[in-house]
Amino acid sequence: MASKCYTRYRAGGFRTNRPLRSLAAAEKRASTGRRASAARNSIHPARVIKWIATLFMVVSLGVVLYVAGSIGYGYLQNRNGQQAMRSLFSITGNGSVDPDYLRREAEALDARLHKLDPVGEIDIPSIGSRWMIVEGADGEALKKGPGHIRETTLPGAGGNFAVAGDRVLYGAPFLHLDDVAVGDTVTVKTPYATFTYRVTESFIVTPDDTSVLEPVGYEAITLLTCDPLWDVKRRIIIRGELEDVQPAGTTY
């Protein structure tokens, strides 16, 4: 009777292999498995869209967390800086508002100031902004608050007192500077006197336009910040003319 198996001689004896039908069935199962595996590993359009959507959500969440973290950390830096400057600020004036006295005091303070020292306090009532002013206007200084641009004179010296501030980070002291209108007031309290300016103009310049820091023919204040938010393509400029001077320590 014919065997259903085939045999092959090997050294040491004979070995009986699987029946041919079993091998065919195994091959069929393997082939079916390979096709199923290929189907699973194929790139289906719906699967690609799902991957892209998931990646977009992860990246978006990362951006949101980064922005929120930056704003929160900047706020803490600013709050600490403001508190430190308020503790160091003191009134030194003798009550005089004589122009010669104010000029001497402004020049003397300017000579004593070092970067990150407190200069005074600025108040812009129309936008509810009141902040201590720090000496210097680079990134390190602006973490503490609005910064006096050191190439410009202090109030009372007869020149153009320029102050820059951030619109988004570090407490965003100049967030609403674009809402300041002609006729609004800006008050600056220094150790030797309190100065009130009346806003006379607002305009936009490019970042490389430093002419806004030059003297303008009258005692002025110039406020600067970036425009639009989160960008540095332009600068908002608010310019005011000195209107009133009160003795040091005058409240407003």
For residue 139, the domain's CATH number is 2.40.260.10
Does residue 32 surpass a pLDDT of 70?
no
pLDDT tens string 46-82: 766 766 767 767 666 555 554 555 556 566 667 888 8
The whole-model pTM stands at 0.71
Task: Identify the band that residue 142 occupies on the pLDDT scale cut at 50, 70 and 90.
Answer: very high
Q: What is the pLDDT of residues 119-139, one digit of tens each?
A: 999 999 999 999 999 999 999
CA dihedral 211, 215, 220, 223 (to 10 degrees): 20
**Alpha-helix residue ranges (DSSP H) falling in the chain:** 20-41, 45-88, 99-112, 139-142
Question: Which percentage of the chain shows pLDDT scores above 90?
Answer: 59
How many domains does the structure of the chain reveal?
A: 1
> What is the residue range of 194's domain?
68-247
pLDDT at residue 27, rounded to an integer:
63
At residue 34, the 3 state secondary structure works out as helix
Token pair 């402004």 is found at: 106
Q: What integer pLDDT is reported at residue 8 of this predicted model? A: 47
Domain assignment of residue 57, yes or no: no
Whether 2 is in a domain gets the answer no
In a domain, 12, yes or no: no
User: Within a domain: residue 11?
Assistant: no
140 part of a folded domain: yes
Mean pLDDT rounded to a whole number for the chain: 83
Confidence band of 14 (pLDDT split at 50, 70, 90): very low
User: Does 214 reside within a domain?
Assistant: yes
246 CB-near residues (< 8 Å, 6+ apart)? 97, 193, 194, 196
Q: Is residue 30 part of a domain?
A: no
Q: What is the CB neighbour count within 10 angstroms for residue 77?
A: 16
With respect to residue 18, please indicate whether it lies within any of the assigned structural domains. Answer: no
